[in-house]
Structure 1
Amino acid sequence: MASEWDTHTALTATADGTHAVELDPGWVVGGGVNGGYLLGVVGTAIAEAVPARPHPLAVSAYYLSAARPGPAQVSTEVLREGGSVATVSAELAQDGVARIRVLATYGDLRAMPDDVATTAEPPQLPPLEDCVAGSLAPEETRRVAPVMERFDMRFDPACIGWAMGAPSGRGHIQAWFRMVDGHDVDPVGLLMVCDALPPVTFDLGRPGWAPTLELTVHVRAVPTPGWLRVSHRTRNVAGGMFEEDCEVWDSAGRLVAQSRQLAMQPRG
């Protein structure tokens, strides 16, 4: 049986390098479709364009306009394919209007060394049973952000004060993460995970939809099945924008993905 993620990112080839996709309304957050989901859809199309190199290694996306649920088209162009990597450009559009443009390097992580050596320290999260389930969010929050229904998130109680009107001011949110249907996240799915948690500005007392301008993701390894640990931080809000740095750690304690995005300050 296909997972929810596979169903919602399913593509239909319409021409050489072009696919049709139906953007599912379950991925809406605030004023548009979640940027991580859009990147996952594009990432799936890129993987189909270079099947011998199915995994994202470095992906940079620019968000040009807010996407809405419904039909969309994804076009890809292989710019270089040789050796262990391929470079591909892609665009997702609706009714001729570009929503997101991507430049990506893909390879086969299974053919690369599977060790991950890092001086980074994994997020220190309490046990699952001591964390706060995202399903406890108020009905109003879930109504404007149905994307939350796609995930099983268990938030660190030390990072959830914003939900009770008492943000810590540290600019840090972290949680245990898995798909709501228990489907294990693959390397393309990590593109989505890096934009799955609420905007880190919530912890600064600035709630609301935060439109992404640019998102870059580095995927470092195929995640081991099981719960992921996801950590978002920001250190600077300036010019009406903020950066959000994300780390994703797998159940084996490996740093499997990193990202940085530049987003607009929430509009409330």
Structure 2
Amino acid sequence: MASVTVGNSEFDRDTAVTRSAPGVYDAHLSEGWTIINAVNGGYLLALMGRALGDALPHPDPLTVTAHYLTASVPGPAVVRTEVIRTGRTLSTGAATLVQFADDGSEVERMRVLATYGDLAALPDDVRTTAKPPAIPPYEHCLGTSPTPERGGGTPMAPDGRPAIPGSTAIAGRLDLRLDPATVGWAVGAPSGKGEMRGWFGLADGRDPDPLSLLLTVDALPPTAFELGLRGWVPTVELTCHVRHRPAPGPLRVAITTRNLAGGFLEEDAEVWDSEDRLVAQSRQLARTILVQ
């Protein structure tokens, strides 16, 4: 598919917000970014990040923490922002996302606290022991083929056979190729390792930027699938650190879970760009709601 530019893609249109009053933004949550009936948490984080980016004087999200209170649904929404502090290199703000019930009452969906800065102004010094994840070449991983009549996508193997069952609307918006070693759950043989890895991009070819990284950290299938669990894995809290402005090209994402207990698990994500730089990290706490 022909590449589109940043600012002229489905992602940009669907995360757009309109300032209706000082610190208040109107938004429309698109059904194109849903998983079953709920709106994806990474998409919501990016939309909130866009509103905060308008409200704060610095351009880039550095750390964003969200608490998901109730499941968001497609339709109108309002984002209310508050500037907490502004400084020379950093600014901090908070935001809430609300929707409206049938009787007109407000339903709060999520709260966000974020610090913004300028990634271009950060020093170049890097001292790290982190290494990019070992993922097979893009063409050897399992991807998605859009199915417009279902409003989503069915993951496909390189030879064109369906690889991962099911369909969600968000799958049609992503160019996602999963490491075959992490999709045993799709054929009834989960590894039990709690790992998910893959190549990630947007289906329309838009290159990544700091805002889209907020989507990236929460867009792969949950690691719970590889632990042998079936069901919904809603996010309770998610913190994302953006470390570098990503280079053009596909991203590599690795997510791990080490501990599932009491019906909750953590997911630790790393996102690497085409120049082998660690551009984002995240940790989230999620619930496991099993399907009998």
Q: Same fold (TM over 0.5)?
A: yes
Aligned match of 2:166: 141
> Which of 208, 224, 242 is matched with 2:247 structurally?
224
The answer as to whether partners of 1:116 and 1:254 remain within 8 angstroms in 2 is no
Distance, in Å, in 2 between the alignment partners of 1:167 and 1:123 is 20
Give the drift of 1:160. 1.1
Cα distance, 1:30 vs structure 2? 3.0
Give the AA of the match of 1:71: P
1:81 lines up with 2:86 in the alignment:
yes
CA distance in 1, matches of 2:173, 2:290: 24
CA RMSD of aligned residues (A): 1.4
SS of alignment partner, residue 190 of structure 2: coil
> Which residue identity is paired with 1:34?
N
Q: Residue 129 of structure 1 corresponds to which residue in structure 2?
A: 139
Query: Does residue 171 in structure 1 map to residue 198 in structure 2?
Result: no
Unaligned runs of 5+ in 2: 101-105, 146-153, 156-161
Question: Aligned partners of 1:152 and 1:217: how far apart in 2?
Answer: 21
| Aligned residue in 1 for 2:118 | 108
Residue equivalent to 2:46: 40
Q: Which amino acid aligns with 1:254?
A: R
Q: Give the total of aligned pairs.
A: 265
Q: What is the percentage of aligned positions where both structures have the same residue? A: 54
3-state SS, counterpart of residue 166 of structure 2: helix
Q: Is the 8 A contact 1:31 1:66 kept in 2?
A: no
The DSSP-based 3-state class of the residue aligned with 1:103 is strand
Partner Cα distance (1:258, 1:128) in 2? 22
For residues 199-228 of structure 1, what are the alpha-carbon distances to aligned partners after superposition, in whole Å with 9 as ceiling and x for unaligned?
Answer: 110101112221110000111000011010
Q: 1:133 Cα shift? A: 0.9
1:204 aligns with 2:227: yes
Q: Partner residue of 2:24?
A: 18
Distance (Å, rounded) in 1 between the aligned partners of 2:139 and 2:260: 33
Q: Which moved more, 1:247-256 or 1:110-119?
A: 110-119
TM-score where L is the length of structure 1: 0.95
Residue type of the partner of 1:186? D
Match of 2:262 in 1: 239
Runs of 4 or more above 3 Å deviation: 114-117
Q: Helix, strand or coil: the match of 1:166?
A: coil
Alignment partners' CA distance in 2, 1:209 and 1:3: 29
What amino acid is the match of 2:198? A
Structure 1 contact 31–209 (Cα < 8 Å) conserved: no
Partners of 1:190 and 1:85 in 2: CA distance: 19
| Aligned 8 A contact 2:165 2:186 in 1 | no
| Distance across 2 between alignment mates of 1:58 and 1:92 | 18
Three-state SS of the structure 2 residue aligned to 1:177 is: strand
The one-letter code sitting in structure 1 at the alignment partner of 2:74 is P
Q: Specify the structure having the higher radius of gyration (Cα).
A: 2
Matched-pair contact (CA < 8 Å) for 1:116–1:255: no
Deviation at 1:140, TM superposition (A): 6.2
In structure 1, stretches of 5+ residues that fail to align are none
